[in-house]
Structure 1
Amino acid sequence: MQGLIKTRIELPEMLVLEILSKLHVKSLTRLRCVCKTWSSSFETPHFNTKHHQNNLKNNNLNLLLKRCHGYTRDNIHYFSQLSIEKDQNFRVKYNIHLPFFENFVHAPLVHGPCNGILCLTDLSCFGHNVALWNPSTREFKILPQSTVQRPHRLLDFSSFNFLGFGYDSQTDDFKCIRFVTNYFEENLDEWLMADWTSQVELYSLKRDSWKEILFPGVDAFASILFNNYVNGFIYCQAVAVDHHILSFDMVNEKFSTSPLPEFGGSLEQYYLELLHFNGLLGAIFYPREGTDKSFDLWVMNGSWTKQFSVESVLGVERPLGFWKNGELFLESSDYELVLFDPSVQELRNLGIHAYKETMHITAYVESLVPLNGRSEHEEYIIRRPAEG
């Protein structure tokens, strides 16, 4: 009998990259050392896009929970990475601290995710610290301070209202937008009626700089619970225009307004949160008072339609975010993380506590998008296993 002849099969490079694009970021990081071709391929926009699309298609979500255990400057806000395996009941895998934001009460405020990237900001309106973070590649980038010219008057301070973070598909660029209110010294004794002017600033990751853009003449504020970036637009609630939404086009860098759904109530009685829901703009309404809550979800697809209503969930305070099959993460009246399944009307306690109204949950897909920043290290991010 003749000996077996071993044959080496060479797979086409495109097929190899197609297979690799289905792997987790952690595996791809290890494979960078296999060969230079693979390492350089993992950095191309084409591979990054393919990898991200595969994660979206397979609904490969990861969970980060921001929380705190008190309401003083000494009680630090931090992230908990939650397990997503079915048998693990969303247990805490890692706790992640960000020393860069530890001097600010409530910081960081989370915007996004957008293509797997989070934008973190100082919640204090007098601060202007902004950073981008890719929790998959563990890259962290502190944004430069704005060089936008302020009015030529005796300026006392400027406050910052951060509106959102999104992606410009035409230029393959990530952008941040914020309102800046400039207060002047002459009316400090009555600051509520102080003389002020407004500006709008836009940051570009490609340019790594801020610029001033045309002010729309309408103040707005963004959701603090949900991602308000949807398909190239940032959406937020207009302050001066009742029952309207202010939107910002990431490509054309222009504002426009549109009406809210006629949900049958008033914003004095109901909270409004704008969110990304299955690729469309959603609006969720829930009562301001009481712990026996109902939740109405409306979706914009040419016109507003009510997607569903959740009636009378007892013992909860507010919604935090949706999970894979329409389940809703909620903060209970005991300030615990719970998961509500509307299909069976079941409320499940996940055993995770936090101080009231400090929880923020982020569901994101993995991304290889580079930030041209720094790798995580203890100056900016401290990641520890939950057991420690």
Structure 2
Amino acid sequence: MMQGLIKTRTELPEMLVLEILSKLPVKSLTRFRCVCKPWSSSFETPHFITKHHHNNIKNNYLNLLLKRCHGGTRDDIHYFSQLSTEKDQNFRVNHNIHLPFFENFVHGPFIHGPCNGILCLADLGGLGHNVALWNPSTREFKIIPQTTVQRPPGLLDFSTFNSLGFGYDSQTDDFKIVRSVTNYFEENLDEGLMEDWNSQVELYSLKSDSWKEISFTGFYAFASILFNNYVNGFIYCQAVGVDHHILSFDMVNEKFSTSPLPEFGWSLEQYYLELLDFNGLLGAIFYPREGTDKSFDLWVMNGSWTKQFSAESVLGVERPLGFWKNGELFLESSDQELVLFDPSVKELRNLGIHAYKSTMQITAYVESLVPLNGRSEYEECIIRRPVGG
């Protein structure tokens, strides 16, 4: 006669266990590294990292990061706010994050990306020498080494970094940064001194952890700083030459090419243009330079340019900041408040988050386990403060 129940343990197949784990947030996976060494090792494999990232994209698990400044000028200390994405919390601030590496630079860092969950931060308000990669999910931070690209002889004491793009090379599994550099010279003429300049383009590879010069002729370009302008292996920016074009950079072939802008019917002297990733396609959003009664036209490239939507007479707003789920658009109001506009019902919702004018930049990203070979936020003295804590 049985004295008690016999307990049995069912072992799940390893592949099924990893499939389940790949659907968990990074915070949970960080804790589960302590469960057993095979799990910890599996979380570092390219297959698991890719599977985990694709699951987050598939389920549209987005996180929100807002860069802002609370001071009385643009030059006060900039910091990041992690916003809640829970439906009932109205995007309230969960954490404020301070990055000491950028605190002594004018305007703080601009965000480029995200790309596979990685953000590229760059000081383009000053001389632009300082660049870092940041994975806010794993809380890893990597300071990019200074360039070793040789400058032409006769250079003045400084060069400026005018634009920057950040993207992913799927062929070599490498993250790359491309930026343009303007070099300034003095020329001796009979009547005195004259300043002259030329441009170089340089590229950083995370795999080699180094910079190199690449060829670039014919255009002067500046990149978007409001939106993520990396789309499906290409970086896009506006090229200014004889005509207005889009300049694209192929992350695999490391080559530039141009394509036309949409014929949106207005002059770029009257309208701002921002290029962005819109649901995996290249998008272009146009909005007026003047007034607080704005219109927003979104065009999308899918073989050819087509107008996605047009929102007219949105009152009391200054500029777009980024798209949210279901095509909703974050905007900066004329009162320097973060607001959310739903084009389908033409509804504007105040979110109660303020910043000094034109310092807000919002980034929506999915979590990622991609390693940077950098250091932890703690080692870089990055401070996260829970709101109310």
TM-score norm. by structure 2 comes to 0.96
TM-superposed deviation, 1:83: 0.5
Is the 2:106–2:126 contact (alpha carbons within 8 Å) kept by the matching residues of 1?
Answer: no
Structure 1 distance, partners of 2:228, 2:136, is 16
Q: 1:80 matched to which residue of 2? A: 81
Structure 1 distance, partners of 2:93, 2:268, is 36
TM-superposed deviation, 1:278: 0.5
**Runs of 5+ in structure 2 lacking a partner?**
none
Aligned positions of 1:1-388 closer than 5 A: 2=2, 3-70=4-71, 72=73, 75-186=76-187, 194-377=195-378, 379-388=380-389
Secondary structure of 2:275 counterpart: strand
Paired residues in the alignment total 386
Is the 2:73–2:356 contact (alpha carbons within 8 Å) kept by the matching residues of 1?
Answer: no
Is the 2:64–2:83 contact (alpha carbons within 8 Å) kept by the matching residues of 1?
Answer: yes
Secondary structure of 1:267 counterpart: coil
Shift in CA distance, 85/96, structure 1 to aligned 2, threshold 3 Å: same
Shift in CA distance, 223/161, structure 1 to aligned 2, threshold 3 Å: same
Structure 2 distance, partners of 1:379, 1:9, is 44
Superposed CA RMSD: 1.7
Structure 1 distance, partners of 2:248, 2:195, is 28
Counterpart amino acid of residue 121 in structure 2: L
Structure 2 distance, partners of 1:169, 1:229, is 13
Structure 2 distance, partners of 1:43, 1:29, is 11
**Runs of 5+ in structure 1 lacking a partner?**
none
TM-superposed deviation, 1:197: 1.7
TM-superposed deviation, 1:124: 2.6
Counterpart amino acid of residue 83 in structure 1: S
Secondary structure of 2:326 counterpart: coil
TM-superposed deviation, 1:172: 0.3
Secondary structure of 1:155 counterpart: strand
TM-score norm. by structure 1 comes to 0.96
Is the 1:112–1:165 contact (alpha carbons within 8 Å) kept by the matching residues of 2?
Answer: yes
Shift in CA distance, 7/140, structure 1 to aligned 2, threshold 3 Å: same
Identical columns (%):
87
- 1:257-311 deviation digits (Å, cap 9, x = unpaired): 0000000001000000000000000000000111111100000001000011111
Secondary structure of 1:244 counterpart: strand
TM-superposed deviation, 1:215: 1.4
- 1:58-77 deviation digits (Å, cap 9, x = unpaired): 00000000000235486200
Structure 2 distance, partners of 1:221, 1:364, is 23
More deviation, 247-256/74-83: 74-83
